[in-house]
């Protein structure tokens, strides 16, 4: 088994063994050590961008290929031994990655190069890449004395262990409830059939395809409460303590590096640049959206007859509101969105917009028989390869995400194409019926495909700044942008067809869907603001000696949202974004402002306009972070970004700042 992909060959996932994973992990560490020695040995006077910066980029990119592949395997494989070994090797590789970020030989080599005459003349991506490397090393402690750097490494290793444990506890959670026939009143028959047990009761798990429909359709308020209570306590027995320790160690790290909090440290290298701008963004948006949220709440109160709408009421009464006031029955809607047609539509729209072609490959080398494999062709050249793993399996990653595996980068004789996997948990087709997606799942598919396109269309010469390797508060812009094609009728009518009659989605039904689009938008945005402010509070204001993480959830949820905190729950224990998006959850709304601004150009020119699509590919999607993200935006827009389109998209009549 060989994980590292060379010369654009397709990797064979079939012969993966636990021993092979361990061997590959050790091999890439040894090879990386040798590459570091080669870079270190270059005389200061002989350093060039090619032999120092490009070599450093290749070093990190090669290591990243193995690390990313092992990471994916830990979340998609059925074999317990291989999956458990992958999780062990993630910890090994993560620790080594921490050591790399604190490697004095690499830092000294980059520092030496930065002081050369050649470096002083750099421009474009080479200048940015060199500056970013120096900044990242200094953010990792190279402005500190050696003993403080060692202290920092201990903290980072501890954080890696804690973070892996936190994520693993969520992924391996298999809690469920058993409900009677009466408690499932209101749920679709196909949903019930999939979960019926031999004794006539029903096993309801907490994965999305099980939990979400239950909360939408189950008439029993008591049953919804029980499932919500269990859902909000996933991994709570382990993860509340882990999270507290994570926050303590992150604060220690920030203080060691000279920042007043982890939020100030974490946001310094983002588009926002400092924590005060994020707080201002969140606070202003909360004020702007509260009027709409109050209106949304009044609608739910009216249709439910309840004075207080609880968390476990929201989806159920929103669905009832959709059916009774806006006449949108999602069970009817999803009959027009078979997964097969949605995928065909995604591929066709992408081909039209970005002048690309998709070729489906044999999946005999994939990690599971359900996985589909495609290659991307643009202008006659192979641009990338991707895997689609669409259906739920035991112990598989239980959300939807794009996993980058190989970064696009220029090698000596060939451009190394990017490789990625898109992992979802859409309902599996049965013998009687295809996989039918609720419209929200269609939106999710388009969202993740936007990430995929961002990764696959890259033309960056360097792997470290290619594809989705952009500022955290920009990375969601292409994905949230692409959601718009799941809403626009001109694109929907290309693929939204009834699975039995092949009838195109009726315009009358679409108009109802569109009218209902912003039902609850104020409540939804408030919920997102709650998540963002919770994340910011934990990383800027939290004091473990004075309050618990759950007390913060209670305080902020009751202060920001209209859904009261459920006593005895610990939502934060399964808030996985706290690991990867520390002091960064705000970035979803931040990036959405840019996404809507970009889409407004397509609305002006036509949502399938090839010239606008090619311009997006050439000015943003292909660039990675070879230029500042604001500059990429302005290059596409031809002006400064603005928020008019975002405010319009959520139904707010507020003038732009």
Is 635 within a domain? no
* Cβ–Cβ < 8 Å for 140, 70: no
Q: Which of 585, 603, 622 is the last residue of a domain?
A: 585
User: pLDDT by residue (tens digit) across 7-56?
Assistant: 688 888 988 899 999 999 999 999 999 999 999 999 999 999 999 999 99
* CATH code, domain carrying 368: 1.10.1370.40
Is 153 within a domain? no
- With residues binned 3-state (H G I as helix, E B as strand, rest as coil), the percentages for the chain, rounded to 5, are 60, 10, 35
What average pLDDT does range 67-79 have in this prediction? 93
Same-domain pairing of 465 and 559: no
What average pLDDT does range 464-478 have in this prediction? 95
State the DSSP code for 338.
B
- List Cα–Cα distances, 625 to 467, 575, 613, in angstroms: 8, 28, 19
Q: Is 143 helix (H, G, I), strand (E, B) or coil?
A: coil
Residue 3 pLDDT level (bands cut at 50, 70, 90): low
Q: Which of 474, 495, 515 is the last residue of a domain?
A: 515
Q: Quote the percentage of the chain above a pLDDT of 70.
A: 98
Which tokens sit at 346? 């995604």
Compute the distance between CA of residue 634 and CA of residue 644 in angstroms, rounded to an integer.
Answer: 16
Compute the distance between CA of residue 395 and CA of residue 465 in angstroms, rounded to an integer.
Answer: 32
What average pLDDT does range 471-481 have in this prediction? 95
Q: Is pLDDT of 657 > 50?
A: no
Is 374 within a domain? yes
Number of separate domains in the chain: 4
Is 601 within a domain? no
Same-domain pairing of 559 and 420: no
CB-based contacts of 3, cutoff 8 Å, min separation 6: 11, 21, 24, 28, 65, 66, 69, 70
State the DSSP code for 274.
S
Q: Is pLDDT of 650 > 90?
A: no
Residue 102 pLDDT level (bands cut at 50, 70, 90): confident
Same-domain pairing of 275 and 422: no
CA 391 to chain centre: 18
* CATH code, domain carrying 87: 1.20.1050.40
Same-domain pairing of 441 and 480: yes
Same-domain pairing of 361 and 490: yes
Same-domain pairing of 467 and 541: no
Beta bridge partners of 382: 377
* Cβ–Cβ < 8 Å for 477, 453: no
- Between these two residues, 342 and 102, which has the higher pLDDT value? 342
Closest CA to 90 of 80, 104, 75: 75
- What pTM does this model have? 0.82
User: pLDDT by residue (tens digit) across 296-342?
Assistant: 999 999 999 999 999 999 999 999 998 888 888 889 999 999 999 99
- Beta strands of 174-323 (E only): which ranges? 176-179, 202-205
Residue 629 appears among annotated catalytic residues: no
Q: Is pLDDT of 637 > 80?
A: yes
Same-domain pairing of 370 and 498: yes
Which tokens sit at 160? 């890696």
Domain containing 97 equals: 18-143
- Please state whether beta strands 372-378 and 415-416 pair in parallel, antiparallel, or not at all (unpaired): unpaired
User: pLDDT by residue (tens digit) across 403-430?
Assistant: 999 999 999 889 999 999 999 999 999 9
Q: Quote the percentage of the chain above a pLDDT of 90.
A: 84
Q: Is pLDDT of 541 > 60?
A: yes
Edge-to-edge order in the sheet of strand 401-406: 356-361, 372-378, 381-389, 419-423, 401-406
Compute the distance between CA of residue 396 and CA of residue 357 in angstroms, rounded to an integer.
Answer: 30
Same-domain pairing of 423 and 554: no
* Cβ–Cβ < 8 Å for 578, 243: yes
* Cβ–Cβ < 8 Å for 453, 350: yes
Same-domain pairing of 510 and 534: no
Same-domain pairing of 463 and 510: yes
**Averaging pLDDT over each range in 155-159, 171-175, 337-341, which range is the top one?**
337-341
What average pLDDT does range 555-581 have in this prediction? 96
pLDDT of 4 reads 58
Same-domain pairing of 250 and 355: no
Q: Is pLDDT of 655 > 60?
A: no
Q: Is 422 helix (H, G, I), strand (E, B) or coil?
A: strand
Is 245 within a domain? yes
Among the listed residues 58, 282, 319, 448, the single catalytic one is: 448
Is 626 within a domain? no
What average pLDDT does range 279-301 have in this prediction? 92
Residue 656 pLDDT level (bands cut at 50, 70, 90): very low
Is 598 within a domain? no
pLDDT of 119 reads 97
Compute the distance between CA of residue 454 and CA of residue 452 in angstroms, rounded to an integer.
Answer: 5
CB-based contacts of 314, cutoff 8 Å, min separation 6: 300, 520, 523, 563
Can you tell me which residue has the tokens 């040995």?
Answer: 41
* CATH code, domain carrying 272: 1.10.1370.10
Same-domain pairing of 114 and 247: no
Closest CA to 105 of 174, 210, 35, 185: 35
Beta bridge partners of 497: 504
- Between these two residues, 358 and 379, which has the higher pLDDT value? 358
Q: Which of 552, 585, 618 is the last residue of a domain?
A: 585
pLDDT mean across residues, the chain: 94
Is 446 within a domain? yes
């Amino acid at each position: 088994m060989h994980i590292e992909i060379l010369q654009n060959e397709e990797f064979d996932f079939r012969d993966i063994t636990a021993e092979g994973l361990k061997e590959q992990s050790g091999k890439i560490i040894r090879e990386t050590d040798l590459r570091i020695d080669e870079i270190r040995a270059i005389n200061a006077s002989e350093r060039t961008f090619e032999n120092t910066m490009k070599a450093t980029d290749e070093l990190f990119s090669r290591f990243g290929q193995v690390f990313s592949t092992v990471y994916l395997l830990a979340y998609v494989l059925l074999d317990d031994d291989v999956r458990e070994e992958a999780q062990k090797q993630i910890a090994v590789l993560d620790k080594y990655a921490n050591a790399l970020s604190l490697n004095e030989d690499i830092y000294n080599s980059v520092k030496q190069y930065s002081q050369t005459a050649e470096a002083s003349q750099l421009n474009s991506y080479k200048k940015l890449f060199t500056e970013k490397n120096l900044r990242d090393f200094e953010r990792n402690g190279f402005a500190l004395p050696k003993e403080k750097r060692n202290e920092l490494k201990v903290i980072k290793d501890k954080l890696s262990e804690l973070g892996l444990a936190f994520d693993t506890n969520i992924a391996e959670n298999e809690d469920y409830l058993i409900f009677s026939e009466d408690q499932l009143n209101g749920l679709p028959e196909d949903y019930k059939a999939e979960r019926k047990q031999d004794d006539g009761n029903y096993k309801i798990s907490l994965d999305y395809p099980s939990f979400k429909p239950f909360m939408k359709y189950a008439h029993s308020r008591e049953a919804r409460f029980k499932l919500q209570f269990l859902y909000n306590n996933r991994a709570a027995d382990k993860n509340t303590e882990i999270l507290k320790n994570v926050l303590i160690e992150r604060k220690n790290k920030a203080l060691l590096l000279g920042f007043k909090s982890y939020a100030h440290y974490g946001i310094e290298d983002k588009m926002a640049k400092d924590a005060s701008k994020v707080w201002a963004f969140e606070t202003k948006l909360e004020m702007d959206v509260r009027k709409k949220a109050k209106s949304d709440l009044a609608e739910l109160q009216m249709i439910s007859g309840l004075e207080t709408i609880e968390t476990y009421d929201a989806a159920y009464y929103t669905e009832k509101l959709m059916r009774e006031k806006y006449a949108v029955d999602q069970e009817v809607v999803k009959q027009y969105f078979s997964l097969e047609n949605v995928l065909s539509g995604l591929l066709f729209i992408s081909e039209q917009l970005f002048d690309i072609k998709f070729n489906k490959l044999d999946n005999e080398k994939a990690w599971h028989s359900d996985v589909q494999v495609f290659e991307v062709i643009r202008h006659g050249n192979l641009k990338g390869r991707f895997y689609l793993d669409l259906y739920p399996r035991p112990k598989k990653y239980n959300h939807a995400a794009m996993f980058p595996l190989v970064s696009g980068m220029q090698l000596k004789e060939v451009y190394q194409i990017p490789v990625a996997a898109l992992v979802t948990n859409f309902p599996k087709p049965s013998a009687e019926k295809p996989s039918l997606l609720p419209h929200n799942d269609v939106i999710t598919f388009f969202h993740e495909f936007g990430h995929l396109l961002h990764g696959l269309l890259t033309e960056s010469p360097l792997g470290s700044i290619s594809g989705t390797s952009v500022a955290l508060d920009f990375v969601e812009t292409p994905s949230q942008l692409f959601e718009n094609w799941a809403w626009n009728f001109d694109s929907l009518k290309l693929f939204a067809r009834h699975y039995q009659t092949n009838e195109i989605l009726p315009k009358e039904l679409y108009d109802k869907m569109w009218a209902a689009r912003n039902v609850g938008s104020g409540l939804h945005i408030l919920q997102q603001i709650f998540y963002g402010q919770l994340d910011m509070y934990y990383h800027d204001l939290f004091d473990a000696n004075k309050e618990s993480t759950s007390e913060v959830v209670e305080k902020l949820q009751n202060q920001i949202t209209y859904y009261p905190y459920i006593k005895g729950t610990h939502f934060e224990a399964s808030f996985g974004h706290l690991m990867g998006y520390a002091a960064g959850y705000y970035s979803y709304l931040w990036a959405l402002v840019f996404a809507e601004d970009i889409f407004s150009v397509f609305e002006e020119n036509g949502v399938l306009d090839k010239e606008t699509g090619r311009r997006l590919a050439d000015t943003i999607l292909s660039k990675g972070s070879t230029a500042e993200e604001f500059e990429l935006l302005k290059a596409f827009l031809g002006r400064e970004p603005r928020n008019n389109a975002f405010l319009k998209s959520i139904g707010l009549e507020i003038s732009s700042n």
